[in-house]
Amino acid sequence: MPPKLSDTQFAELCDILEEGQPWTPREIHTPIKNRYGVTYDPAHLSRKLRESGMHYAKPRRMDSWSPDEADEILAERLDQALGEETSGKTKEEEPIVFGFFR
């Protein structure tokens, strides 16, 4: 049986899902049906999405005490702790840090 979506269509679907995050597992079926006119068994779609590198995750609540510039503060503190400038580096160039710094 041929796949319901071509490789190109499935890649396009993954791009749509990445741009419109967050999605619940049920919500993912709507753009597939509306855009491509096909349906997938939920278990099969879940496998296909995992194989493409996508995973379900529960969203976390935003900390109401967190400052608006929390990402910038973290980056600055990491720069200080590591003694180097990390902003402007690509993901591959950024150091991997484990643990917490004060």
Per-residue pLDDT of the chain (102 residues; tens, 9 = 90+): 667 888 899 889 888 888 877 777 778 888 889 999 998 888 888 888 888 888 766 666 666 777 888 888 888 887 787 776 655 666 566 555 555 544
Query: How far apart, in whole angstroms, are the C-alpha atoms of residue 98 and residue 6?
Result: 40
**In terms of C-beta density within 10 A (0-12 exposed, 13-18 middle, 19 or more buried), how is residue 32 classed?**
buried
Residues in Cβ contact with 3 at an 8 Å cutoff, skipping those fewer than 6 apart: 10
Q: What is the pTM of this model?
A: 0.50
